[in-house]
Structures are given as structure tokens and as C-alpha cells.
Chain A
Amino acid sequence: MSGVRLLVGTHKGAFVLTSDPKRQQWKVDGPHFTGWEIYHIKGSPADPDRLYASQTTGWFGQLIQRSNDGGKTWEPVGNKFVYEGTPGTHLWYDGKPRPWEFKRVWHLEPSLSDPDTVYAGVEDAALFKSTDGGQSWSELAGLREHPTGPNWAPGAGGMCLHTILQDPKHPDRLFIAISAAGVFRTDDGGKTWRPMNRGLHSEGIPDPNAEVGHCVHRIAMHPSRPDVLFMQKHWDVMRSNDAAESWQEVSGNLPSDFGFPIDVHAHEPETIYVVPIKSDSEHIPPDGKLRVYRSRAGGNEWEELTKGLPQSNCFVNVLRDAMAVDSLDPCGVYFGTSGGQVYASADAGNSWSPIVRDLPAVFSVEVQTLA
């Protein structure tokens, strides 16, 4: 089937939304895993029928589900996430050391080339890898064992590794982001890591320009230009032109530069999208208006996109993994909200319409463009 498949993780289950390439009529399948929190679902770029889902509850812990048929059926695979060696401590909210303790998988990132290889970003922050389709998991411990690790501290949502970007031009290079430690990069497949936070400025930490400690919410890249990265930080939208060696602020004329998701147009590497949120203490859209902002200049100059989005009395949030783009032409843009709406734009953001309005709170949205 050609078209688009959206993989939606929510507070109470997973949903699969499908459409033909026109993206006007949608079929809604779900909930899968009803009653469980689905933090993230993502398909393999190498085999679109292979999907991975992170499933949790406070009662029964972490499960990983795998589908080999595009989400029609699922099977539980390995859920044993054990830190390498003696994990040591990080900082807790009270400033005291606290032993690393696995809580959940926030993000699953399948390999660009191998359907059986997948990365998992977890809380407390660490990166795991499976090379057998999720049956077993090994920690890439060099990250957690970085000398700065004992000084990492959680953001309000927990100390989570939430973003994993693979560089298509350098297979051994990964970028990850942790709240609230910041961005790290490996150039050797995960053995060694460097903090990549030069240029970030965060007023909420003792040294605003510290090497680590920044609450990075999301980073994004265009696959054709992996040295250019875009970041939505706790406050500030940032850009790097040198593979995260340095960052410059590109918040420009945004009504608020606080937010969670950021994404890049599939065919225009300088066109980026964010959803401004009023503040860190008020996770609602400014003025009760749900607006996506688009920059066609790689930042600084932003235009508001409102057609089809509620422009009064709207108080939903859009979480960091809840925005995605397809690779059709025109590029489709999608996002899900804490109010259970999933909005779609089939014209690169010019106009929007809800695919569904009443799902449980949306944690994540991923898109597969099917040939």
C-alpha cells in the first residue's frame, strides 16, 4: 500500500493511522496495548513492516513490543535493561548523589540499515542497543560513564535520554540528548562520547554556559545535511552548522522560545517547525492559540501557521516526540497534543486538519512514508 502510516503513542495505548498519498481520508486502528503508556513507536527505515514500541505502566514495568507486519500484530521481545557494571550515581533533585536506576524506555531508534538493530534511550539516562530485533539489550556504557555523569541531574520529567540521531554519512556517529545534561556525540559507534553544548546558555543552572546540565528538549537534522542540527531547548531554539561543535540561537521573532518538538521539512533542509509554548511553568500555547511556527531560513525568521488550528481557548501541549514529517511532495507535517488530537498538514504546514480529536494524551507521533 502506498501512502502514509502514523504511529501514535499515547497515555493509554498505541494507534496506527493510515492514509493514501492524498492524506485526506484516514483509517484509525487501535488502541493496541490498551491501558498501557506507549512512550514511543517507530518503524525501521530498512524494513517498514518492522516496528518497535515502548510499553510501560507503573504496575508492570517496561515491555518492548515488536511488529513484523506494520503494526497489525505484535509480540513482546526483550525487556531486560541492565546497566553495565556498577552504575554509580548521578545527582538527584536535592543535589545529593543517587544511584542510577532504570525506569523506562523513552525513545526507540531503529538503525538506518538493519531492521534487527535498534537503539533505546532510557531513564535514568543511558543508551542501549539491540542487534537481534529487540530480544536482548546491551548498554553503550561509555556515555553514562562519561566523567560528567555523576553531575547529571533530572529535568522535571525525569533524567531521560530522549533523542537519538544517526548520521547517514558517518555510520559510527550518533547524537543523543538528555534532560537535563545536554547533547553528546560519539564518532566511534558509542564507545566514547563528548558533550556538545558549546553556545548553549541556560539561566536555570548555576553556570549558564556549563559543559553539561542543559535541558535540551529535542534535536533534529535533515538526512542530506547531517552536520546541520536544530534544537528546541527548554528555552531557546538553537542551530549548529558544525555537527554540534557549537550552537547559535535562532529563536528570532517566535512569541515564545520555550517548547518541546522541532522538526525539519523532508525536502527543504532550511525549513523547520516548532510549536511555541508559553513557559516552563505554564505548559500551554501563548494566548490560547495553537500555532506551529515555520522558518524557511533555518531559524530567526518565523511565520505562524494557524489555518485549521484552534485560535481561541486552546490549552494543550505538544511533547518532544509528538511531531513528525513524511517524505511525500508536498511534505506532510503531523503533531499530536496532550488533549488527544492528532493534526495533519498535507501542504507543509500551510493548513491543518485533525485526523482524530479524542485520543488519550499523545506522547509521540512518528510517520512512515510507504512506497
Chain B
Amino acid sequence: MIRVVLPTHLRKLAKVDGELRLDVQGQPTQRSVLDALEASYPMLRGTIRDQVTFKRRPFIRFFALEQDLSNESLDAPLPEPVAKGSEPILVVGAMAGG
């Protein structure tokens, strides 16, 4: 079970409160978590990563354990506390816009 925290706009779009809990098969990675997230909440497709290239959108960041995982490989295993569900992964709208 993976815990995911979405930014406010995406929580409203997905009609969820608080953090999400997702079942992810196998070793959790950014890719498998996002696959599971978009399968459960299809309205989020395209808002976090491109629907064709799967590249993270420029102003989206992934944080966990006070670390920025945004530029890690999509297929790199997530840190163990995230994989075990003791810590959430945060999807963050980057501070931008002046």
C-alpha cells in the first residue's frame, strides 16, 4: 500500500480528501505508482505527466522523506518507507509564478 498526497487542485479534481492509498503490484516505482494512481483516478491523466511521453510536467515535483525524487528514474525503486507505506510520497505543484 502506497500513500500519496496530492496538491489541492488535484484533490478537488479527483474528488478526494486527505491522502490516497494505492495498491501497487511489485516493487513500487514512480511509474508504477503513477500508473496505479491514473487507473484509479482517470481524471488525473495528463495533469501530472504527459499522456504520450510520460514525462513529468515541468512544474510538478515528487517529494518523500524530505527529499526531491523528481529527477530520479521513473523505474527506480521508491525509498523503503514509501514502499512500505510508513511515509507518503508527495505530488507537489512547484512554487512558481513570482
Could you tell me which A residues sit within 8 Å of B by CB distance?
35-36, 57-63, 76, 79-80, 82
Complex: A82 Cα to B52 Cα, angstroms: 8
Distance to closest chain B CB from A350 (angstroms): 42
The chain B residue sitting closest to A34, CB to CB, is B12
Could you tell me which B residues sit within 8 Å of A by CB distance?
7, 9-10, 13, 43, 45-48, 51-52, 57, 59-60, 93-94, 96-97
Q: Is the CB of B59 within 8 A of A80?
A: no
Residue in B10, B43, B96 whose beta carbon sits within 8 Å of that of A58 in the complex: B96
Q: Is the CB of A79 within 8 A of B46?
A: yes
* Chain B interface main SS type: loop
Q: Is the CB of B52 within 8 A of A59?
A: no
The chain B residue sitting closest to A83, CB to CB, is B52
Q: Is the CB of A80 within 8 A of B97?
A: no
Residues on A with C-beta less than 8 A from B45 are: 79-80
Residues on A with C-beta less than 8 A from B52 are: 80, 82
Residue in A58, A60, A80 whose beta carbon sits within 8 Å of that of B51 in the complex: A80
Q: Is the CB of A61 within 8 A of B93?
A: no
Residues on B with C-beta less than 8 A from A80 are: 45-46, 51-52
Distance to closest chain A CB from B49 (angstroms): 10
Q: Is the CB of A59 within 8 A of B60?
A: yes
Q: Is the CB of B46 within 8 A of A62?
A: yes
Complex: A184 Cα to B94 Cα, angstroms: 39
Distance to closest chain B CB from A99 (angstroms): 13
Known: A58-B96, A79-B45, A79-B46. A63 touches B59 (CB 8 A): no
Complex: A59 Cα to B6 Cα, angstroms: 13
Complex: A61 Cα to B49 Cα, angstroms: 9
Residues on A with C-beta less than 8 A from B93 are: 59-60
The chain B residue sitting closest to A76, CB to CB, is B43
